[in-house]
Amino acid sequence: MKLVETKWYGQLIQISDHILLGILWVVVSLPLVTVVSATTGVFTTLDKWKSGESGQVCYWFLQGFKRKFILQTLMSALTIIIFFSINRMFQESDVLLVISGYMATMVFTMFLLSWSYRLAKDETISLKQLFQESTLWVLFNFLRNLLCCGVLLVFMVLVFMFPPIIFVLAGGVWWLIDQLMGSRKRKGVWQ
């Protein structure tokens, strides 16, 4: 039996594809105005892998990255403005203001995740429909979205503790978030 035909080798290829996907996301997200587009690229690649199209990490990532690029760049710019504004709220001494800042950050992150996830599923979706479905997804799946934000938070803490871990774990974190967001789809929402 050849090494290439073993199940172990297939698993090793999958792991290396996820690591490459994570590295692509990190590198493409560095300008910050491309973070939403890069996230859509990750979800597009993972969606294509689910439908049986393996490999071609760079191709599928770039296909998702280009989807509604100008709109996603505007969303990324809005994200930067909102997060920096909320960061200013964190510097205040009022506890209520800090708590509301954390809540706004979590809800907006949930919205961005659902936005990218939905756009990865259907590139022909209209802006109005994308906004509506993303908003409904956040409202109807609040606990699942909160869990996804928790995964991202744990990942960020690990990256702050040991920065090179971002290159190894980013693909796996996005895979886990994709699994959490895709499990048990509600009837009428994202079929």
Question: What are the pLDDT digits (tens) for 120-143?
Answer: 888 888 889 989 999 999 999 999
Give domain status of residue 189, yes or no: no
Give domain status of residue 127, yes or no: yes
Give domain status of residue 188, yes or no: no
pLDDT at 191 over 50: no
Give domain status of residue 191, yes or no: no
Which residues are CB-neighbours of 50 under 8 A, at least 6 positions away? 182
Q: How many domains does the chain have?
A: 1
Question: What are the pLDDT digits (tens) for 41-51?
Answer: 999 999 888 87
Give domain status of residue 34, yes or no: yes
Output the pLDDT for position 187: 45
Q: Report d(CA 129, CA 178) in Å as an integer.
A: 21
Section 18-42 average pLDDT = 89
Which residues are CB-neighbours of 110 under 8 A, at least 6 positions away? 138, 142, 145, 146, 148, 149
Give domain status of residue 103, yes or no: yes
Confidence of residue 5 (pLDDT cuts 50, 70, 90): low
Give domain status of residue 46, yes or no: yes
Cα–chain center distance at 112: 8
Which residues are CB-neighbours of 131 under 8 A, at least 6 positions away? 115
Q: Report d(CA 137, CA 130) in Å as an integer.
A: 10
Q: Report d(CA 59, CA 86) in Å as an integer.
A: 35
Confidence of residue 3 (pLDDT cuts 50, 70, 90): low
| Domain assignment of residue 117, given as a range | 3-182
Give domain status of residue 190, yes or no: no
Output the pLDDT for position 153: 87
Measured between its terminal Cα atoms, the distance across the chain in Å is 41
- How many residues are present in the chain? 191
Section 176-183 average pLDDT = 87
pLDDT at 1 over 80: no
Residue type, position 93, single letter: S
